[in-house]
Structure 1
Amino acid sequence: MIDSRLNLLIAVCEYGTVTAAAEALYRSPSGVSKQLKELAAELDVDLLERHGRRVRLTPAGQRLVTHARALNAQWETALSDTTAAARQLCGPVTLGGFPTAISSLLTPAVVRLRDRHRLLQPVIKETFSSETLTALESGAIDLGLFVAGESTSHVADSHVEVISLLDDPIDLLVSEDHRFATSDQVSLADAADEEWISGHAHQDAYIELLAATRAIGYAPRVAHYAQELTATTAMVAAGLGISAVPRIAMSVSHPKVVQIPLTGSQIPRRRILFALRRGSRDNPRIAAAITALRDAATDSQVQQREPVSQKRPEGS
């Protein structure tokens, strides 16, 4: 096994502080600090140095992180080769993802895995996009879904393999008595005078909406802020505004709201990718998970092409 202290050092490299690394790995800062000091003492080199309130890796620490990532990749290759020799596919595989991905992609993928491989033990773990890299490196997850964006650009690193899964269009969500509720499609230009319910400025739903509306000459007039789907849907149903929601988030219909595709030259969408540790793709457990995930994504895209009337609640 690879020395677990090396992954602690990698986390400190990623997060910049011992405290942040410890929180990401669900460890105590004092415990992480103690283990890194023990590692430095065993190697007889300084691995970290103070830089204001933060710490940074010394040249020796940076080299050790590079070697640690290479060792992790070799270990994943060894695990893949060993697992491939087993007669039956069995054991745990942990899939991480953000909330809407869990409901629309990971849940049906795990159902498939359990049906296809009875001895496999798939586990779903909620993991936000910004946490994907550390969760992979720490071993908390084996495969992680995330939304591409500036905050996740670091995920595409040399020691992590990143693969595109699907593009998720952003739809309009309105109350059942809204003027748009009977429309088959709506352009963002037609919604310029509406009041919006949206996430905060750093959240992907707002970022995608703002980019699309700016491209046609306006910024959305946000009346209320919410990212969580239940809260957003409740406010839309009450007529407090309209919202832009990822299509896969509305895989289960909600009463008193209508989901409408956007049309025009500027249609906001999210790019959903998944990441895994380099060297692990040939691991039969992970390969089976990737196949199930791609099948779930294909089904999701087929459902997205259904007529809008099929997605509206009865009576709308």
Structure 2
Amino acid sequence: MIDARLHLLVAVCEYGTVTAAAEALYRSPSGVSKQLKELAAELDVDLLERHGRRVRLTPAGRRLVTHARALNAQWETALSDTTAAARELCGPIVLGAFPTAIPSILTPAVLRLAAEHRLLEPVVKEVFSGEILTALESGAVDLGLYVADESTSRIGDSHVEVTGLFDDPIDLLVPEGHRFAGDGPVRLEDAAEEEWISGHAHQDAYIELAAATRAIGYAPRVAHYVQELTATTALVAAGLGIAAVPRIAVTVPHPAVVQVPLTGEQVPRRRILLALRRGSGDNPRVAAAVAALRASLPGHGTA
């Protein structure tokens, strides 16, 4: 068994502070600090040093993290091999995902796992896309779904394996009775004169919408700056604008709102990726969770 304090050190490296690492791992900051001090004392080296109000790893600490990551990958391989000999899958498996993936993908996946492996203990954890790789490397989750963009493209020499899962199209959300609320899909070009409800400039909703409209020659006229789906739906239902929403996000229809698919050359979409710790893919628990996730995708598709 790998010393649990090494996981704490890796988490501090990933999250940047003892407090953030402790929160991610459901520990107290004082407890994490105490265990890392004990580890440093046993090794007779300084692992952390003060840098203003934060701490950072010393050269010795960074080197130990490198070894810890290699050990973690070997441990994942050992767990996979050992678990493969078990007659029945059991124990916890933590699935992390961004909020809109939880009702549409993780929930049916967990139900499937519970039905097929009664001793398995799936746990759902909400993790935003920009934090999923860190959560994996620190051990906070066992596998994770996230949206590919510039902020989540860091894999490099990471001890995380990433594969494509599926593309999630962006649809229009319009009020009932709107000219787009007919039977068929519409082109994004046809919405050039509409008023939009979207996120702030730094948020996903706006970035995705602006990129798609810019490609066809216009900038969206944003009337209200909202990203959270419930609030967006309420504004759309009130007739205050239209919105662009991921297809998997709308799991509970609103009686006064219509979800309309887009067509044409510029249909915005999100690329959804699946990430695992390196060496864990052959672990039967992880493999079962991945199979359940894939079986829960829209249309049962795979990338």
**TM-score, normalised to structure 2's length?**
0.92
- Partner residue of 1:143? 143
**Aligned-residue offset at 1:183:** 5.3
- Hey, what's the Cα distance between the residues in 1 that align with 2:129 and 2:37? 30
- Partner residue of 1:244? 244
SS in 1 for 2:172: strand
8 Å CA contact 2:47, 2:61 repeated in 1: yes
- Partner residue of 1:313? none
Structure 2 residue runs of 5 or longer lacking an equivalent are none
- Hey, what's the Cα distance between the residues in 1 that align with 2:29 and 2:22? 5
8 Å CA contact 1:24, 1:134 repeated in 2: no
SS in 1 for 2:219: coil
1:257-268 paired onto structure 2 within 5 Å:
257-268=257-268
Residues 115 and 108 (structure 1), Cα distance of their counterparts in 2 relative to 1, 3 Å cut: same
1:194-273 paired onto structure 2 within 5 Å:
194-273=194-273
**Aligned-residue offset at 1:128:** 1.6
- Hey, what's the Cα distance between the residues in 1 that align with 2:292 and 2:211? 33
**CA RMSD across the alignment:** 2.0
Structure 1 residue runs of 5 or longer lacking an equivalent are 303-316
1:68-107 paired onto structure 2 within 5 Å:
68-107=68-107
- Partner residue of 1:22? 22
- Hey, what's the Cα distance between the residues in 2 that align with 1:175 and 1:26? 42
Residues 77 and 49 (structure 1), Cα distance of their counterparts in 2 relative to 1, 3 Å cut: same
- Hey, what's the Cα distance between the residues in 2 that align with 1:199 and 1:4? 40
Residues 301 and 253 (structure 1), Cα distance of their counterparts in 2 relative to 1, 3 Å cut: farther
SS in 2 for 1:222: strand
Aligned amino acid, residue 133 of structure 1 = L
Q: Once structures 1 and 2 are overlaid, which stretch shifts more, 30-39 or 237-246? A: 30-39
Aligned amino acid, residue 263 of structure 2 = T
8 Å CA contact 2:137, 2:159 repeated in 1: no
SS in 2 for 1:99: coil
Residues 53 and 153 (structure 1), Cα distance of their counterparts in 2 relative to 1, 3 Å cut: farther
SS in 2 for 1:154: coil
Aligned amino acid, residue 9 of structure 1 = L
After superposition, the C-alpha distances for 1:254-308 in whole angstroms (9 at most, x for unaligned) are 2111111112222111111111111111111111111111111153559xxxxxx
**TM-score, normalised to structure 1's length?**
0.89
Number of residues of Structure 1 aligned to a counterpart in Structure 2: 302
8 Å CA contact 1:173, 1:242 repeated in 2: yes
1:40-189 paired onto structure 2 within 5 Å:
40-154=40-154, 157-182=157-182, 184-189=184-189
After superposition, the C-alpha distances for 1:63-100 in whole angstroms (9 at most, x for unaligned) are 11110011111111111111111112222212111221
- Partner residue of 1:278? 278
SS in 2 for 1:89: coil
Aligned amino acid, residue 110 of structure 1 = V
8 Å CA contact 2:146, 2:274 repeated in 1: yes
